[in-house]
Amino acid sequence: MPHSNFWRDSSPAHATAGFVAVLVGYSSSAIIIFQAAAAAGASPSQIGAWLSALGLAMGITSIGLSLRYRQPILTAWSTPGAALLAVSLPGSSLNEAIGVFMFCALLVLICGITGWFARLMQVIPQSIAAAMLAGVLLRFGLDAFVSLSHEFTLVLVMLATYLIAKRWLPRYAILLVLTLGLACAAALGKIDTAAARWSFALPSPVMPHFSLASLLGIGLPLFVVTMASQNAPGVATLRAAGYDTPISPLMIWTGIATLLLAPFGAFSVCLAAITAAICMGGDVHADPARRYPAAVWAGLFYLLAAVCGGSIGSLFDALPRELVLALAGLALLPTIASSLHRALREEAQREPALITFLVTGSGVSLFGIGAAFWGLVAGMLALGIAGFRRRSRC
């Protein structure tokens, strides 16, 4: 799409999708970043600086890569990686933690330069990738309706707004859901304005210390978890949405961004999966080639969040949790539907795709690696066995 223009292609639907993606990403897992930073011995101001560094890295890479390839390429921190750090870093110094971050970034960079990861991802069929994405997003779709039992009026208003807007104003459905959801939450007294506190955290670098024990005991697991639980689903999300993005450059640039900003607390910047799907749905734009502004807008909101790093946690604490869950689930409904359609439309691959969907949706975690990876493994094994069975009959 050589003659595309961001401002011409952009619309309120793109900006809304970008905002919702960032809102969901921060509100669902920012607390894990706080826990990981605290486990490394970071002070409250340093924890805010970590969020600022992550926002800066994610903003720059999301904007740069999306504009370069004219595709909605959204980056994010590694939530499974943060969870791993929260339980692995106690006992390590902050300097050792920074060394671990830089080591992991270097390994990601090597994967990008050599093309190993890209070659591995080319083996996965689109049906398996789509099934994995549907499984990853299943929890968010279910949570939107589970929220009815906690905040019935608020979620019902949001659901009704979504259904009505989808009939007459489909491109602005999520914008209207967000607007009326916030208005309803305010009217019900569910927005805790006292929880929102403004503070500014100035990032300051921490010198790394490279310990063989921490590099092998924490750095290698962080790399494996980041690639298997974040980058692999991120690539599958792009493929499931029909984007044939070159993978190696994405690994190179996210690796470089992490390496440069690791001393400031950017522990891992990688491809987004769940939040990226929000920017790739048909509600953003009917033409897949004109959905990239949503990821650019998300990048701009990331940069805004970087400025507010010291207070971002309290800002999201002010919103009712059910509002965020319902908003995320409704925003992802079109992506879940299209992913299931792609996964199950080919009869020969239907059962392996279903296994992928169920394993991923189960949330099973083995050896510290999340369900998305094991869903891919189970689906590929089932596909291989089915193919072997067909060949043996011939």
Tokens 């509100």 map to which residue? Answer: 27
106 domain-assigned: yes
In a domain, 197, yes or no: yes
Low-confidence ranges of the chain (pLDDT < 50): 1-3
Residue 386, pLDDT score: 83
Structural domain count of the chain: 1
Whole-number pLDDT of residue 205: 87
- Phi then psi for residue 205, to 5 deg, are -70, 150
Residue 280 one-letter amino acid: M
Secondary structure in 3-state letters for the chain: CCCCCHHHHCCHHHHHHHHHHHHHHHHHHHHHHHHHHHHCCCCHHHHHHHHHHHHHHHHHHHHHHHHHHCCCCCEEECHHHHHHHHHHCCCCCHHHHHHHHHHHHHHHHHHHHHCHHHHHHCCCCHHHHHHHHHHHHHHHHHHHHHHHHCCHHHHHHHHHHHHHHHHHCHHHHHHHHHHHHHHHHHHCCCCCHHHCCCCCCCCCCCCCCCCHHHHHHHHHHHHHHHHHHHHHHHHHHHHHCCCCCCHHHHHHHHHHHHHHHHHHCCCCEEECCHHHHHCCCCCCCCCHHHCHHHHHHHHHHHHHHHHCCCCHHHHHHCCCHHHHHHHHHHHHHHHHHHHHHHHHCCHHHHHHHHHHHHHHHHCCCECCECHHHHHHHHHHHHHHHHHHHHHHHC
Spacing of C-alpha 82 from chain mean position:
13
Q: What is the pLDDT of residue 1?
A: 43
What's the pLDDT at 224? 77
Rounded CA separation 93/12 (Å):
45
| 223 domain residue, yes or no | yes
1 is a domain residue: no
Domain of 143 in residue numbering reads as 6-393
pLDDT of residue 391: 63
Q: Over the stretch 226-284, which tens digit does the pLDDT of each residue have?
A: 887 789 889 988 988 889 899 999 999 999 999 999 999 899 999 998 789 889 988 88
Say if 249 falls within a structural domain: yes
pLDDT at 310: 61
